[in-house]
Structure 1
Amino acid sequence: MKNQNKSAINSRFIASSVSLGVIALMSLAAPAHAQEGDTTTSEQEQAQANFERNPIIVLGVTRQEENIQEVPTTITAFSGEDIVEQGIVQTADIATFTPGFNVRAAGNNPTAFNLSMRGQIQVDNIATLEPSVGTYIDDIYIGRAYGLNTNLLDIESVQVLKGPQGTLFGRNTSAGAVVIQTVQPQFDEVSGVVRGTYGRYDQREAEAVINLGFEHFAIRGSFFYGARDNYQTDVTTGDGYGEREVLNGRVRVSARPLENLTITASGEWFDSEINGPGRSNLFLNVGGADPAAAERAVMQRDRDFVGVSNVATFPGAPARGLFNEMETETYMLRADLETSFGEVNFITGYRNVEGANLIDLDGSAFPAHFTQGFQDLDQFSAELRATGSAFDDLIDFAVGATYFAESGNDQSRSSLFSSPNWSNFNGFIDNDSIGIYAQVSAHVTDRLTITGGARYSIDDKGVTVQSSVAPNNGDVVAVCLPTSFNFPPATFEDCARTRYDTFDNLSYTIGFDYQLTDDILFYAKHSRGYRSGVQQLRSLTLTDTTPAQPEINNEQEIGLKTEFWGGRAIFNIAGFHNRVSNAQRSPVFNVNGQSQTIIENAGTETWGVEADFSVEVADGFFLFASGSLIDPSYTNYDGFGVVGAAGMQQLVSVDKSDFPFVGIVEEQFTVGASYETDLGFGRLHLNATYAWQGEYNNADTRTDLFTANPVTTPGGLGLTQAQADQLEDALVTGSLGLLNARAALSFGYDDNYEIAVWGRNILGDREPLYTLLLGNVYVGSSFNDPATYGVTLTARF
């Protein structure tokens, strides 16, 4: 970048960073156009030093780096180097080190997760329920989390954008967006990386990256193989669980047929197999008895002990026992054209997900609940956008259109108490969505920018649900569910219920940012986000097939970003308030022995504050910290509850406005330090990061209902006080503190060799990440990974 006046950099970069063109390219900042200025050599050197202390990778065709301090919005960002040093291995780990962002493990699949941000959450993982936090990989929206919690391979940057992103990214970003950018092929460059890791539990990993770049053509290939032995032990049989094997590969090809045109095509493949994993029982009530008490006593002493029922006790269960298999394929084609006004981009992609698993949900040897899942889902997306500047750079603009289509099936089968009659939910979806958007940032003065934008979205959704009873988990239908819908069926198709719905919404944003001084940025904005309506997939009464309405988030945010001590220190703080109408909730009900999920709507209000701080204490020695506090509450919540004697139970309306939130972490902070120095024969790199999050609830029910009479009180469980106390403890995930550390020595020509020792969750803190309560019968849970440590060797060329 050529010399520029510092104030010009500030005003132009702030303005461009809030424009839709920049955000639509999944960036955090936009580079100012090169121009001659009167910046002195000392000022240039200081600016470069400040930039090196706080770099951030800007995504998009320009691919230049800028200081995150100049971005007038709340963002947590990680470079590829940050990811390695902080021990961020899988996609879900991103939330651990991001204030105000939390990941709750998916109950039905360990390769998926549910994301929560600023009081909003997706509390289940089914094909009709959209996320409130959208995930994007290389500008491709990932509609379903199945197969998404994978190792981060050849990553350039990860960025977490807080607050509604409806105008910039579209539907299903009412709380925010996670933007992952992989490394693109590099022209005129031949390079590569080979990396090997060995760690606890016989962890073996191999990674290889090669880049072959020429003047007009480049190809980049990335490969990862990972395996780990069993780390869980069945308390009854001594069998091992948790072994996994992962294979991930990506090939990307770029061509530059014209000086201003780049075309990129890529393919990525992911394949994982997991033995289990097993779960731990936290509560079990069978007619007042507790057949898992002895097992649970062992599990509480060691979180790696699990309980698994004998598969033979469930007629029709796969003889292989617990397993999880997941495969994904993702293909992308992109064209980037530089023009006199800016850029034109066309991005299209296809993704397929295929998975199958068997889970022992109660986590005990007692045969309480087996569930089997199958997924086969396809998505296709396309986007055309134009971004640039006009009127002598007085405005930055972006306009575009998107299309998204999804189809396939998501199936779940369950058996309770070894029943040979498995309940079957097979949902076939057929969804289409289009969106058009425009946004403008007007540079009123060198320091003041006003931004406004809007997006109109239309979702056409279709679902066919085949709910039935399948004897011995087979292909013969015994009865359709609900029974009021029943007639003598011959096939699953005879049990089909089909409906079509259309949802639409206008999302918008309006805001301004003002550069108070060269080192202090103030901004304020109001945004409206949209999460698509939900069709019922696992309900068993005709009356509840009415879809849950779209979730609408109206949020206000103000923020201050400061830089001081000659650029060595930064402090950022942002406060927000949002009101969400039709917030989507998905409780699980057990009605007359049949479990089902019904999507409900509620109203919520959340206040919160987020802050981050970093300082370079001495050359190469950094201290950093971040944290968040949020206070969510219901403004209204009219849901369902189960009431009545066994065999005569029914769902009735219940006011749940005083129920607790599920999966929402209200307090969170991260502290850490890094140090780098030249030892003469090599460079030493040290990093330690501690991330802490407060406790959260795992069931949306009040504790007074635990002892209430279920025949007369909706939601009552009829437990004794002792059982109620035990259940209350089982339903809370306690505070969790994770300490990661890494020490590395790089040496050789241009530090191209490195040996690193590392540890993750060094303190061995273990808490339940996902807990399922089914009626008054059981609570089963899965825990975060134990302490792991190992060594990694890296060679670059």
Structure 2
Amino acid sequence: MKSILKAALLAGAAWSVVPTLAFAQAPAASTAGAAVEELVVTARRREENLKDVPVAVTAITAERLAQTGAVDITALQQTTPNLTLQVARGSNSTLISFIRGVGQQDPLWGFEPGVGLYLDDVYIARPQAAVLDIFDIQRMEVLRGPQGTLYGRNTIGGAIKYVTAKIGDEPEFRIKGTVGSYNEKDVVASAKGKVSDTLGVGITWAHFGHDGYGKNLNTGAEQYNKDVDAARATLEWSPTQDLFFRLSGDIVTDDSNPRHGHRETPALDFLGRPIPGGAPPANVYDTNAGAGDFNHVQARGVSLLGEWDVNDKIKLKSISAYRSGYTVGSIDFDELPAAILDIPARYSDHQFTQELQLLYTGERLQGVGGLFYLNATAAGAFDTVLSQANLTIATAGHVDTESYSAFADFSYDVTEALKVSVGGRYTHDDKTGQVYRQNFTGLKSPLFGNNLAIPGLVRSNFTSSATFEKFTPRVSVSYAFDPDRTGYLSYSQGFKSGGFDMRADAILTPSSVNGYQPETVDSYEAGLKGYFLDRRLSLNSDVFYAKYRDQQVTLQTPVGASIASQVLNVGQSHMYGVELEGVASLMSNLTANFSLGYIKAQFDEYKALDLTASPPVIREFASSRVFQNTPEWTGSVSFTYTADLGEHGRVTFTPSASYRDKFHMFEVPSSLDQAAYWLVDASLMWTSADDHYRIGLHGKNLTDERYRVGGYNFAQSSGVLFGNSVSAFYGPPRVVMLSLEAKF
């Protein structure tokens, strides 16, 4: 009750400004701003004005992304309330996503994400190669809170939609080049157009690259460099006025060097003595890692969209897609030349999805219903190499998933102002996990080329299957106070499937062969959206309260010369908070964008196996556990000033600042936790009068802030054979980029 009361008070403080804004005296005509832009989103799988959608949605257009010089989708973190979107620790293009405290820190194969990622309505099941670079884009949407009804079982925290640009009626060729700090060299080229009255073709190619922010002091290789190639191709065919087909293909290849971390603590041997050369490097982007400098990630996909307008009320839609990915690389946990704690690894995955939708638009009833099918396999192998014990623990396995869903979400106009929406989704998952884990004497196992390694204790070798099913409802009521302002109340439930721990050690944790169970989030939300001050101000606000049950937590506990992995349903927690976003037209040539997020998340129950006790026992840890990647406060503000130069075009200046409160890397507080910080950016852009040419100057992290985005914690107190290995990964330093773009 106290939590709900506090959330209500915060919401009241945020909303108390609304009457003042609605009835404030208008500024003089000479300084009055123009009406802010109306945004159309597809958060409910149909096109709607943002203010009419009873969901907390952040929508960012391609033009806005260009104005701010956004590089990839992690830029959304700076302007979206209560969102964490980062490059995963030890990788260059693996995505870590959290919304309102719900997400996935561990990107190992077989683990399910808590935030769904969609590329043109195609679900991307794995986080590898999911740090999508921004090009050929129409807009991006971030849907906060459970989206289980329309987006499925793994959108328990929310969903992110990457919507690419469509083919227009007129032929178009674009080329954009970027140069900048650290020898930044990017090129994006695209050609689109109609080859007949009914057939359109589009193709885009892109290369993104820069030198490293640091260096591997052991091998001389670059650290934090980038070498990514990407391509997309599209065919759009409209044989009749009522039929539309879109065949799309995409591929991303990342050959950047492995992103080894920065050692944060002095290295110690198994007797607690300093290891020569084991001091932390002075530059946080430097490393001494010896695990190797080869890394290769590739992801590709093809999809077919079909739409049939049966009549003016009914549309049928089919979305068929296949995606696959492959990763090979290494993680050096100790960040030293010796293999004190090294992990060579490889992953692969593939998925087929089929979705059928029926969209209905009547005078008073609108909505969508459909069926969804997924067949996916995620597999991999890695060695845990411990040179101080001349030991390697080999791990391999795969998870097969077959999922069936039926869903519907419909809105009914009770009156012109009052609308009621009801939806639900039934999901049935069949999963089979196969896990193998064995000790070998020697450095590396036969899985990674050491056929001379001596086989030892088999720690796991099992195959298990399980079925998970759940019905997740959603209901909302919205009321239009007038044509410009809408309020809503909603309840929704999210569901994330259970599964099997691919690191399971059947000796240390025998119950792991049974897998772990699903988790759910019940979310209650109230929102107010609309336009004020003669539509010169747009505000989207909400207050939420959520109950998180059977929460899945990944733990890795050093035990002797091994590491006990556990994926546990530790209990339950609750979260509440407030979110506010807006755009204000201050003058005819000056606008401001702002956002504010507050969240309080805490565990009510956290029961886990204490492997440090002898014998291990179940203990309650709620009072000493925290939420990871969930700062209490997030916020941003930016201004866009446009100077019209007449026939010489226009100049746009966009300074911005974003704030992230202190946050924890893991459920157990540690020295890796990040303090609060600000990021300051600025962009200056010239656009020709005919919109054919554009020059942009973009500065990122202008104050050169050093901030952690991930880490590994294997301190000496946890396991003496791991070298007191505490390492961190840092966000980009100050960079400046100059871009030139031509459109014909």
Q: Please name the residue that 1:778 is paired with.
A: 725
SS in 2 for 1:697: coil
Question: Cα 1:667–1:60, aligned 2, differ >3 Å: closer, same or farther?
Answer: closer
Aligned match of 1:118: 100
Instruction: Please say which of residues 334-343 and 66-75 is displaced more in the overlay.
Output: 66-75
| Residue 751 to residue 63, structure 1, CA distance change in 2 (3 Å) | farther
SS where residue 602 of structure 2 aligns? strand
Query: Which of 26, 43, 56 is 2:39 aligned to?
Result: 56
What is the match of residue 317 of structure 1?
none
Aligned position for 1:93 = 75
In structure 1, which of residues 445, 448, 453 is the aligned counterpart of residue 415 of structure 2? 445
SS of the counterpart of 1:543?
helix
Q: 60, 66, 81: which is aligned to 1:84?
A: 66
CA distance in 1 between partners of 2:634 and 2:191 (Å): 38
Deviation at 1:742, TM superposition (A): 1.1
Give the match for residue 517 of structure 2.
549
1:643 CA drift (Å): 1.5
Give the one of 422, 425, 439 matched to 2:395: 425
Confirm or deny that 1:697 pairs with 2:664.
yes
Distance in 2 between the 1:304 and 1:379 partners?
Answer: 35
Shift of 1:361: 1.5
CA contact (8 A) 1:108 1:373 kept: no
Structure scoring higher RCO (CA < 8 A, sep ≥ 6) equals 2
Taking structure 1 as reference, are residues 114 and 368 closer, same or farther at Cα in structure 2, changes over 3 Å only? same
Match of 1:24 in 2: none
After TM superposition, give the deviation of residue 295 of structure 1 in Å.
Answer: 5.8
Quote the Cα distance in structure 1 between the aligned partners of 2:627 and 2:97: 14
SS at match of 2:39: strand
Letter in 1 for 2:487: F
| Structure 1 residue 559: Cα displacement | 0.8
Which AA in structure 2 matches 1:378? H
Partner of 1:516: 481
Residue pair 1:383, 1:400 contacting (<8 A) in 2 also: yes
Name the counterpart of 2:471: 506
Q: Say whether residues 1:335 and 2:318 are aligned partners.
A: no
Helix, strand or coil at the partner of 2:515: coil
Superposed, 1:212-227 pairs within 5 Å as 212-213=193-194, 214-227=196-209
Identify if the C-alpha distance between structure 1 residues 181 and 761 changes in structure 2 by more than 3 Å, giving closer, same or farther.
Answer: same
- Given the alignment, which residue of 644, 664, 675 partners 2:641? 675
Separation (CA, whole Å) in 1 of partners of 2:456 and 2:376: 27
Question: What's the CA shift string for 1:329-368, capped at 9, x where partnerless?
Answer: 1100110111212311000101110110112122345643
1:527-542 matches, within 5 Å, as 527-541=492-506, 542=510
Aligned residue among 607, 611, 615 for 1:638: 607
1:322 pairs with 2:293: yes
Question: Structure 1 residues 699, 688: CA separation in 2 closer, same or farther (over 3 Å shift)?
Answer: same
CA distance, structure 2, for counterparts of residue 331 and residue 52 of structure 1:
40
Match of 1:307, SS state, is coil
DSSP-derived class of the 1:323 partner: coil
> Match for 1:700: what amino acid?
E
User: Could you say what the CA RMSD is over the residues aligned between the two structures, in angstroms?
Assistant: 2.4
The Cα shift of 1:656 comes to: 1.8
What is aligned with 2:444? 473
Whole-angstrom CA distance in 2 between matches of 1:290 and 1:466: 34
Q: Equivalents in 2 of 1:351, 1:559: separation in Å? A: 36
TM-score (norm 2): 0.89
Look up the equivalent residue of 2:597 and give its one-letter code.
S
1:207-234 C-alpha deviation (Å, 9 max, x unpaired): 0011121310001111101221122123
Q: Which residue of 1 aligns with 2:84?
A: 102
Identity of aligned residues (%): 22
Query: Structure 1 pair 480/111, CA: closer, same or farther in 2 (3 Å)?
Result: farther
Deviations 1:709-733 (A, max 9, x none): xxxxxxxxxxxxxxxxxxx4x2211
Check whether the contact 1:61–1:336 (CA below 8 A) recurs between aligned residues. no
The code of the aligned residue for 2:135 comes to: L
- CA distance in 1 between counterparts of 2:598 and 2:551 reads 20
Structure 1 residue ranges without an equivalent (≥5): 1-45, 312-320, 486-495, 703-727
Cα shift readout 1:620-644 (whole Å, capped 9, x = no counterpart): 2111210111111111111122225
Residue 791 in structure 1 maps to residue 738 in structure 2: yes
Q: What SS does the corresponding residue of 2:63 show, helix, strand or coil?
A: helix
Distance in 2, Cα, partners of 1:698 & 1:292 = 27
Q: How far apart, CA to CA, are the structure 1 residues paired with 2:227 and 2:57?
A: 33
**1:449 Cα deviation (Å)?**
0.1
Match in the other structure for 1:614? 583
Q: Distance in 1 between matches of 2:238 and 2:152?
A: 30
Distance in 2, Cα, partners of 1:655 & 1:62 = 42
Contact preservation (8 Å) 1:670, 1:690: yes
Does residue 232 of structure 1 match 2:204? no
CA-to-aligned-CA distance 1:43-67 (integer Å, 9 cap, x gap): xxx9xx9996223244599997x65
Q: How far apart are residue 86 of structure 1 and its match?
A: 2.1
Once residues 344 and 503 of structure 2 are traced to their aligned partners in structure 1, the CA distance between those partners, rounded to angstroms, is 14
When normalised by structure 1's length, the TM-score is 0.83
Aligned pairs (5 A) from 1:79-228? 79-186=61-168, 188-213=169-194, 214-228=196-210
After superposition, residues 599-748 of structure 1 pair within 5 angstroms as: 599-601=567-569, 602-643=571-612, 651-658=616-623, 659-680=625-646, 681-701=648-668, 728=670, 730-747=671-688
Query: Compared with structure 1, are the counterparts of its residues 669 and 295 closer, same or farther at alpha carbon in structure 2 (3 Å cutoff)?
Result: farther
Closer, same or farther: CA 357–205 of 1 in aligned 2, 3 Å: same
Change (3 A) 1:620 1:377: same
CA distance in 2, matches of 1:92, 1:292: 37
State the SS of the aligned residue for 1:636.
Answer: strand
- Residue 634 of structure 2 aligns with an amino acid whose one-letter code is Q
Structure 1 match to 2:692: 752
- Stretches of structure 2 that go unaligned for 5 or more consecutive residues are 1-28
Q: Please name the residue that 1:42 is paired with.
A: none
Residue 565 of structure 1: which of 533, 555, 571 is its match?
533
Deviation track 1:169-214 (CA, whole Å, cap 9, x = no partner) reads: 111111111011111222x320121000101111111100111213
d(CA) in 1 for partners of 2:685, 2:388: 52
Pair 1:237–1:252, CA change in 2 (3 A) = closer
**Residue type of the alignment partner of 1:371:** I
Secondary structure of the residue aligned to 1:258 is coil
Q: For the residues of structure 2 that align with 1:567 and 1:293, how far apart are their CA atoms?
A: 66
> Is the deviation greater in 468-477 or in 290-299?
290-299
Tell me the residue number matched to 2:562.
Answer: 594
Deviation at 1:423, TM superposition (A): 1.3
Query: Aligned letter for 2:274?
Result: P
- Counterpart secondary structure, 2:512: helix
Aligned partners of 1:480, 1:520: CA distance in 2, in Å?
68
Tell me what 1:318 maps to. Answer: none
Equivalent pairs counted in the alignment come to 692
CA distance in 2 between partners of 1:482 and 1:773 (Å): 26
Aligned twin of 1:410 = 380
Cα distance, 1:595 vs. partner? 2.0
Matches of 2:49 and 2:318, distance apart in 1: 27
- Cα distance change on mapping 1:194 and 1:651 into 2, 3 Å: farther
2:9 is matched with none
1:770 aligned partner, one-letter code: G
- Residue 357 of structure 2 is aligned to residue 378 of structure 1: no
